[in-house]
Structure 1
Amino acid sequence: MSSAGAVSRTTAVSETLDMGSLPSYVSIWQGLVSRDSSTDTSHANDSLVCQSYSDATYGACNTSSIFRGTNVTASAITLTFTNAARGRTQKLTVRANRCKYSSSCYAGSDTDYSYEPWNGFKGTEAVYAAFTYWIPNSELAKLTTTGTWTATLWLSLKNKAGTSNAETDRGQTWTANITLTVKGPSAQIYFPAFPDSTPSVNLNLSNLPGSDNNTRASGSNTLDMCLYDGNDSTSSSMTLLFEDSVGNGDTTGRNSGLFSLFQYNVTVPSGRLDYQVSFVNPVTGSPQVVANGIPITLDTRGSGVATRNVLLPGYADVYVCIPAPLTFTTPEFVLSSKYRGNYFGTLTVTYTPSTS
């Protein structure tokens, strides 16, 4: 039965969460009062209670009023969130404070946010209850799968008169439809062998036995590479650009498309080693030679595009990336044509997935 002066509420809560930088909490209600403009002081004893003590579909907590004076310590509600696209559910704890109008209702850690409920209702000095509900940072961190998570918090408004055990159902409900959109890692190139550092690749040069008295050399090496588009490899296309850093090196006579290593402080061709780069095209599944400074665009909409599950650094969940391992090949050259010593260079790979 409805009670004069009591109010129902339906609230839409929508937040986008970045896994790498979660907020302190997500607010559901902040110091909202349980009555309208009536002067019925019995609202000081109002409580919001769950529909079930154990079923977390709409929130699991006490199903009867708890009135303990001016303030009630923050309590816990277990609520089920669903990620329909990924077929997953996760129970989160919603924190709740109940207080009188003259007191502060706290959210977050109970101390880092203070709200004066009477700012939202100034019509009378009569006492009434105010409610603050939120999802703390520690609970948000449990949503380790990207996508849209939804839940409905459904509470009933009840009243316990004074210190007696008489409880009245005010016939009003408070409902919060909550949508949390979780964003995972941004688009990135992932090198599994170097999850936390810049890859270092040796060209594995070796002389060729029997070649003009071992006077020639060549080399080859591979590097595992996987491309993550920020949305589980659902982008329709990607562009790859491979470039080297020449610095003060001399590229005279370098074949078109090749990349180079240089000896420090040597600016003549004899202090340069040229190499070729190829990658396994994830669309065709075949090796493809790339040209220095010329972008390659691939259509990744087909179902035949290779994918792979990986654990990206700093994230607990599994994400889908597109493998594109690299091969570095040094063409045969005459050893005496190059200076002795170490050669160094930088290869930059720029990966640009589509936004659709």
Structure 2
Amino acid sequence: MKRRVVFVWMVVSALAVVVPRAFAQRPPQMDPPTGVITQDIVMSWDRSAMPGVIEVWPRRTLIAHDHLDPAKQYGALFLTCASATDSETGRCAVEDTHASTTGVLSDIQTKFVEQRTGQRVDISISVGTFRIESSISCGSDYWNDSIHSAHSSYGKLCFGEPPAGSGGILSVLSSAQQRLTAGQWKGTLELRLRRPPAEHLATYVFNFDFTVTDHDAVSIYLPAFEYGNAHVNLDLRYDPIAKMIGGRKDVDMCLYDGVGSSSEYLGVTVRDAGPHPSGGDGFSVWHPDTTGDESERVDFDVLLDYAGNRRRMRNGVEEQLHGVDSTALRLVKLPKLDQPVYCVPTPLTLLTPQFPSSSKRQGVYSGELKVELRVPAVRP
């Protein structure tokens, strides 16, 4: 009885070893491509919901395979760049490196350009190759699962036999995507498919077109007051000869729309948020012990400068700024963002018309302004 049980167990064990080999499938015979192979990668996302790894070539994307003719060297194909120093179409090795390192993707720095601002940034695109064995004698599959350097013809021998084919992987990792701020980014990666020692078989061209938004980062940026509310002095001046008081205060302001300064328009509203109503559609500061009398109120105007034109803002009334996609921009570093971004300059001027000094109660006057930014509901 015991022998019978042992015998059955041994048969099952043997089958467990043999079955994976029986199911291993040899990749199809395929010659490498020739000429120029173009692939367009067009995507959109918001920085609050990144797409994760962008797989342009999934693992084991077949490039070439021929297990009948080792002389074709399809198991030694490798990829190179046009330049080892310029990232315009990808910066990497231009010749066979013969590197035997495995398990690590090759990072190719590729230049991306934001179409609205011309801002440039190098993005790392991860590339690697896989080798296809001539038999399954060295593993449970024809594919060698180790990632090889994209720029090397190296392939491990299997019982003296070289690899019979090559595949690839090409992706944009999440860490690389983080470098792209809001805007439309375009970049091109060109990879030359090579066969030892230096034969050029084909050129792969990858055209990337990424539209990135950052709606959570829409901001009113006051450079002089980055880390808190703005406390602004109206800079009132007394003219002892005319016995008049007036003043002017410039406040630098820049608007970030979260879509790379490409909005159809920006809606800006300035409100008098003080505890007492202002006079008319203007803005006011008040004496701390005011009874509501006019002698305890100082009125001032708020002017907004946009694209060289100065607008008088009315209390609580939105001004729409059109032509945002063509106006001059400013590169700034917003407190909550890792990368610099371009914003729309809209400096404010707080202008206090002159009034007789005797017409106002002596004291320190104060008030509060609230600036609101509205971006179009239709988002790119």
Provide TM-score, normalisation by structure 2: 0.58
Q: How many residues matched?
A: 315
Match of 1:201 among 213, 217, 232: 232
Task: State the match for 2:170 in structure 1.
Answer: 133
Residues 1-356 of structure 1: pairs in structure 2 closer than 5 A: 4-6=29-31, 8=33, 11-16=39-44, 26-34=54-62, 45-50=75-80, 52=82, 54=84, 59=90, 60-61=92-93, 63-64=95-96, 66=98, 68=100, 71-81=102-112, 92-99=123-130, 101=143, 103=145, 130-136=167-173, 146-156=183-193, 158=195, 175-181=205-211, 188-205=219-236, 209=240, 219-229=247-257, 237-246=265-274, 249-251=275-277, 254-261=278-285, 268-269=291-292, 273-282=297-306, 285-286=309-310, 288-297=311-320, 299-300=322-323, 307=328, 309-313=330-334, 314=337, 317=340, 319=342, 321-329=344-352, 332=355, 343-352=365-374
- CA deviation digits over 1:228-272, x for unaligned, max 9? 5556766564433221224xx454xx53123344577x6842696
Is there any run of 5+ residues in structure 2 with no aligned partner, and where? Answer: 1-27, 132-142, 149-162
Q: 1:41 to 1:336 in 2, by over 3 A?
A: farther
Is there any run of 5+ residues in structure 1 with no aligned partner, and where? Answer: 107-125, 159-165
Q: 1:330 to 1:269 in 2, by over 3 A?
A: farther
Q: Percent identity?
A: 17
Whether the 8 Å CA contact 1:250–1:267 is kept in 2: the answer is no
Tell me the amino acid that sits aligned with residue 220 of structure 2: I
Tell me the amino acid that sits aligned with residue 131 of structure 1: G
Which deviates more, 275-284 or 12-21? 12-21
- CA deviation digits over 1:63-89, x for unaligned, max 9? 4485849x4533343545456776676
| Alignment RMSD | 5.2
Q: 1:197 to 1:63 in 2, by over 3 A?
A: same
| Greater helix share, structure number | 2
- CA deviation digits over 1:161-208, x for unaligned, max 9? xxxxx7797967655333334557965433232244332112345666
Whether the 8 Å CA contact 2:247–2:352 is kept in 1: the answer is yes
CA distance in 1, matches of 2:250, 2:104: 60
CA distance in 1, matches of 2:360, 2:120: 65
CA distance in 2, matches of 1:267, 1:12: 67
Q: 1:132 to 1:344 in 2, by over 3 A?
A: farther
Q: 1:290 to 1:141 in 2, by over 3 A?
A: closer
Tell me the amino acid that sits aligned with residue 222 of structure 2: F
Tell me the amino acid that sits aligned with residue 252 of structure 2: D
- Residue 79 of structure 2: SS of its match in structure 1? strand
Tell me the amino acid that sits aligned with residue 29 of structure 2: A
Provide TM-score, normalisation by structure 1: 0.61
Tell me the amino acid that sits aligned with residue 221 of structure 1: K
